[in-house]
């Protein structure tokens, strides 16, 4: 087990102990240990192997032993016993937004509630409202939370899907009976939220590949198993489908199972118009449905299929029947951004607000992974829950960043931290005055407390865009995928205002956000509004979101020229200065 997995187990133990009403010191010790383990810089394996866990502050003897067991065996009997001692339904209750261990414990003790169904019934009967600490409002909130859970139980965020899919794909690729393989479906199209994961393999020995797939560690259960396909349930509750075809059929099956359904329908129509037939088995010289190999056009790749239908190759991300055919017909598809074009992120936090890492550490880490720059845009004072900076601390931070940059310069490094803020958009102004904003390299303006109504939210965002010192708007709609709806905003009006004022819009690449949504980028692009792909980093690991953000940008038809943080540092500085010079 790696540190993130160990941390997840520890934090789960903490929650369960709290659920059982254990002494708060003990439960907190687990939560703390989880946080400590997560932020270790050395591999946990090394610390265990060299018996150096005792050097870590905040992890006592008992916890050291448990961590050692987890790292060396991948299991922990204590954890399993604890889990078994809890009614199974209680942990389901924890998944309902707004219900923590304390509330679940109260519901269980006082109303004997041990399942989502029982909770829903108790809410409808008004029993929950009359418990101390609950009330009418929290009862209504719980009912809403249950609805929300139901609606989304079978949907998953893309990053969770990719975390499961990537290693499976990797292992399929090295299997001796696998000729070609790929993900397909919504994962390959890079949808932000997916239903299930699809894999496609070509092989001369389907049975061996299917046996391999269905017995992989991480497969919880096998829901279907046939000669050429299988479906399994993976850890984390995500369903995955595998199909195995011959290598001659592979390109056609890949195109078919990548979808989208709407895109496939249009493809099939095009084939018919040309006197051909397209299905998952081939593109056939035939006017009726067939799978006769003698009639199949010899396509080796998806590109060959597109070419046979008079189309330039359509990248999987664009296959949503959103104009890709018209563009591909005229060979006018944009050359999409590559994630390696990105040079750094312009919206990030440090331990001066609610981020985890210190300025120097961020600089050395981001430099090491190949970035050219990294902006520090900690929260402003109104975000006190996130330890937002007041003007005095922000001025200090500017000096601290200068010092880090001076050291970098002395070392001969070209990497630079940029100063900045994620300034709160308040009711009638921004959280900092213009003269302070003017001293910062990068200003991101974000609405963290929406007004409620669409008109008012839109007005506030437009006013922020009109400020000459605001470079970009952060996470425009505030959505948290599968958790919180976007707040109401007239995105088109805000995009228009950004176009007029030369303000950029963030594509927040945290996989909970992917905000602004890919569906809106073609409009923004048509208006000439530039995109900034930011990770909104709160810890080093978040740098990997750059790759995800680039995928979503591709889905939004964006090219390298549309994305500001593809620029090298000097060009970026000029771009940052441009809006201010207009005023």
Chain positions contacting Ca ion, by CB under 5 A: 185-186, 196, 198, 241
- Find which of Ca ion, ligand DGT, Zn ion, none residue 57 binds, CB within 5 to 8 Å per kind: none
- Integer angstrom CA distances of residue 470 from 15, 68, 148, 289: 41, 49, 35, 58
Cβ of residue 446: shortest distance to Zn ion, in angstroms? 4
Contact indicator for 231, 222 with CB cutoff of 8 Å: yes
Select from 149-157, 444-452, 464-472, 540-548 the region that touches Zn ion (CB under 5 A). Answer: 444-452
- Find which of Ca ion, ligand DGT, Zn ion, none residue 260 binds, CB within 5 to 8 Å per kind: ligand DGT
Sheet holding 238-245, edge to edge: 180-184, 197-202, 238-245, 229-234, 219-225
Token digits for 19? 């659920």
Cβ of residue 199: shortest distance to ligand DGT, in angstroms? 11
Asked if 231 is part of the footprint of ligand DGT (rule: CB under 6 A), the reply reads no
- Find which of Zn ion, Ca ion, ligand DGT, none residue 391 binds, CB within 5 to 8 Å per kind: none
Asked if 511 is part of the footprint of ligand DGT (rule: CB under 6 A), the reply reads no
- Find which of Zn ion, ligand DGT, Ca ion, none residue 89 binds, CB within 5 to 8 Å per kind: none
Query: Cis peptide before 260, with omega less than 30 degrees from 0?
Result: yes
Return the axis-axis angle of helices 3-19 and 61-73, rounded to nearest 10°: 130
Q: Are strands 472-473 and 504-508 parallel, antiparallel or unpaired?
A: parallel
- Find which of ligand DGT, Ca ion, Zn ion, none residue 257 binds, CB within 5 to 8 Å per kind: ligand DGT
Contact indicator for 259, 245 with CB cutoff of 8 Å: no
Return the axis-axis angle of helices 61-73 and 24-38, rounded to nearest 10°: 50
Please say which residue, 65 or 262, places its beta carbon nearer to ligand DGT. Answer: 262
Cβ of residue 249: shortest distance to ligand DGT, in angstroms? 14
In degrees, rounded to 5, the angle at the alpha carbon of residue 264 between the alpha carbons of residues 263 and 268 is: 120
Asked if 101 is part of the footprint of ligand DGT (rule: CB under 6 A), the reply reads no
Cβ of residue 422: shortest distance to Zn ion, in angstroms? 5
Count of positions on this chain that bind ligand DGT (CB under 6 A): 14
Rounded to whole angstroms, how far apart are CA atoms 121 and 123?
5
Please say which residue, 185 or 355, places its beta carbon nearer to ligand DGT. Answer: 185
Cβ of residue 266: shortest distance to ligand DGT, in angstroms? 10
Contact indicator for 437, 443 with CB cutoff of 8 Å: yes
Give the footprint of ligand DGT on residues 133-192 (CB under 6 A).
185-186, 191
Rounded to whole angstroms, how far apart are CA atoms 507 and 554?
11
Task: Please report where in the chains the tokens 């259960």 appear, as a residue.
Answer: 221
- Find which of ligand DGT, Ca ion, Zn ion, none residue 281 binds, CB within 5 to 8 Å per kind: none
Rounded to whole angstroms, how far apart are CA atoms 251 and 285?
17
Contact indicator for 478, 484 with CB cutoff of 8 Å: yes
Please say which residue, 192 or 422, places its beta carbon nearer to ligand DGT. Answer: 192
- Find which of ligand DGT, Ca ion, Zn ion, none residue 556 binds, CB within 5 to 8 Å per kind: none
Task: Please report where in the chains the tokens 């709290």 appear, as a residue.
Answer: 18
Please say which residue, 160 or 198, places its beta carbon nearer to Ca ion. Answer: 198
Cβ of residue 542: shortest distance to Zn ion, in angstroms? 13
Cβ of residue 291: shortest distance to Ca ion, in angstroms? 21
- Find which of Zn ion, Ca ion, ligand DGT, none residue 446 binds, CB within 5 to 8 Å per kind: Zn ion
Q: How many CB atoms lie within 10 A of CB 471?
A: 31
Among 186, 367, 446, 565, binds Zn ion (CB under 5 A): 446
Counts of helices then strands in the chain (DSSP H, E): 24, 17
Give the footprint of Zn ion on residues 49-68 (CB under 5 A).
none
Count of positions on this chain that bind Zn ion (CB under 5 A): 1
Site string for ligand DGT, 189-228 (x = CB under 6 A): --x--xxx-x------------------------------
Give the footprint of ligand DGT on residues 265-304 (CB under 6 A).
265
Rounded to whole angstroms, how far apart are CA atoms 145 and 476?
24
Cβ of residue 553: shortest distance to Zn ion, in angstroms? 19
Contact indicator for 348, 366 with CB cutoff of 8 Å: no
Token digits for 394? 């922000």
Q: Which residue is nearest to Ca ion (CB)?
A: 185
> With 0-12 CB in 10 A as exposed, 13-18 as middle and 19+ as buried, what is 443?
buried
Please say which residue, 367 or 446, places its beta carbon nearer to Zn ion. Answer: 446
Contact indicator for 127, 136 with CB cutoff of 8 Å: no
In degrees, rounded to 5, the angle at the alpha carbon of residue 276 between the alpha carbons of residues 273 and 282 is: 135
Cβ of residue 485: shortest distance to Zn ion, in angstroms? 17
407-432 CB burial, b ≥16 within 10 A, e <16: ebeeeeeebbbbbbbbbbbeeeebbb
Select from 171-179, 368-376, 440-448, 517-525 the region that touches Zn ion (CB under 5 A). Answer: 440-448
Cβ of residue 258: shortest distance to ligand DGT, in angstroms? 6
Select from 75-83, 253-261, 289-297, 543-551 the region that touches ligand DGT (CB under 6 A). Answer: 253-261
Please say which residue, 249 or 517, places its beta carbon nearer to Zn ion. Answer: 517
Q: Which residues bind ligand DGT (CB under 6 A)?
A: 185-186, 191, 194-196, 198, 256-257, 259-261, 264-265
Q: Which residues bind Zn ion (CB under 5 A)?
A: 446
């Amino acid at each position: 087990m790696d540190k993130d997995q160990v941390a997840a187990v520890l934090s789960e133990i903490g929650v369960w102990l709290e659920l059982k009403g254990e002494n708060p010191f003990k439960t907190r010790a687990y939560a703390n240990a989880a946080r400590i383990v997560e932020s270790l810089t050395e591999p946990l394996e090394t610390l265990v192997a060299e018996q150096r866990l005792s050097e870590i502050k905040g992890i006592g003897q008992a916890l050291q032993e448990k961590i050692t067991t987890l790292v060396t065996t991948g299991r922990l009997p204590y954890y399993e016993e604890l889990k078994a001692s809890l009614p199974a339904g209680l942990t389901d209750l924890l998944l309902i937004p707004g219900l923590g261990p304390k509330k679940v414990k109260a519901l269980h003790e006082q109303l004997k509630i041990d399942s989502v169904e029982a909770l829903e019934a108790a809410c409808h009967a008004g029993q929950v409202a009359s418990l101390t600490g609950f009330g009418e409002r929290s009862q209504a909130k719980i009912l809403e939370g249950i609805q929300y859970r139901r609606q989304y139980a079978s949907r998953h965020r893309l990053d969770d899907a990719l975390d499961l899919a990537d290693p499976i794909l990797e292992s399929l690729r090295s299997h001796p009976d696998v000729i070609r393989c790929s993900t397909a479906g919504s994962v390959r199209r890079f949808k932000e939220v997916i239903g299930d994961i699809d894999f496609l393999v070509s092989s001369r020995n389907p049975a061996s590949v299917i046996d391999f797939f269905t017995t992989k560690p991480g497969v919880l259960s096998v829901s279907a198993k046939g000669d050429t396909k299988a479906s399994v349930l993976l850890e984390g509750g995500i369903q995955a489908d595998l199909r195995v075809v011959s290598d001659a059929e592979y390109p056609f099956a890949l195109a078919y199972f990548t979808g989208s359904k709407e895109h496939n329908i249009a493809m099939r129509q095009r084939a018919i118009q040309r006197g051909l037939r397209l299905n998952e088995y081939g593109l056939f010289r035939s006017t009726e449905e067939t799978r006769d190999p003698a009639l199949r056009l010899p396509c080796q790749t998806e590109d060959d299929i597109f070419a046979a239908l008079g189309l330039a190759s359509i990248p999987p991300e664009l296959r949503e029947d959103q104009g890709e055919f018209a563009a591909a017909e005229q060979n006018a598809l944009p050359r999409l951004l590559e994630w390696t074009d990105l040079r750094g992120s312009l919206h990030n936090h440090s331990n001066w607000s609610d981020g985890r890492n210190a300025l120097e550490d961020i600089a050395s880490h981001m430099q090491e992974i190949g970035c050219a720059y990294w902006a520090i845009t900690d929260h402003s004072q109104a975000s006190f829950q996130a330890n937002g900076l007041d003007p005095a601390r922000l001025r200090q931070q500017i000096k601290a960043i200068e010092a880090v940059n001076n050291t970098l310069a002395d070392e001969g490094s070209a990497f630079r931290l940029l100063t900045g803020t994620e300034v709160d958009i308040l009711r009638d102004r921004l959280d900092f005055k213009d003269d302070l904003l003017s001293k910062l390299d990068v200003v991101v303006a974000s609405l963290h407390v929406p007004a409620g109504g669409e008109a008012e939210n839109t007005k506030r965002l437009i006013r922020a865009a009109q400020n000459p010192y605001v470079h970009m708007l952060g996470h425009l709609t505030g959505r948290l995928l599968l958790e919180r709806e976007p707040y109401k905003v007239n995105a088109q009006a805000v995009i228009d205002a950004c176009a007029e004022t030369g303000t950029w819009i963030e594509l927040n690449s945290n996989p909970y956000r992917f905000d602004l949504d890919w569906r809106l980028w073609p409009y923004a692009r048509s208006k000439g509004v530039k995109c900034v792909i930011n990770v909104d980093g709160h810890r080093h690991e978040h740098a990997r979101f750059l790759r995800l953000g680039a995928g979503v940008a591709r889905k939004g038809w964006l090219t390298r020229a549309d994305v500001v943080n593809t620029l090298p540092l000097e060009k970026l500085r000029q771009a940052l200065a441009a809006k201010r010079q207009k005023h």
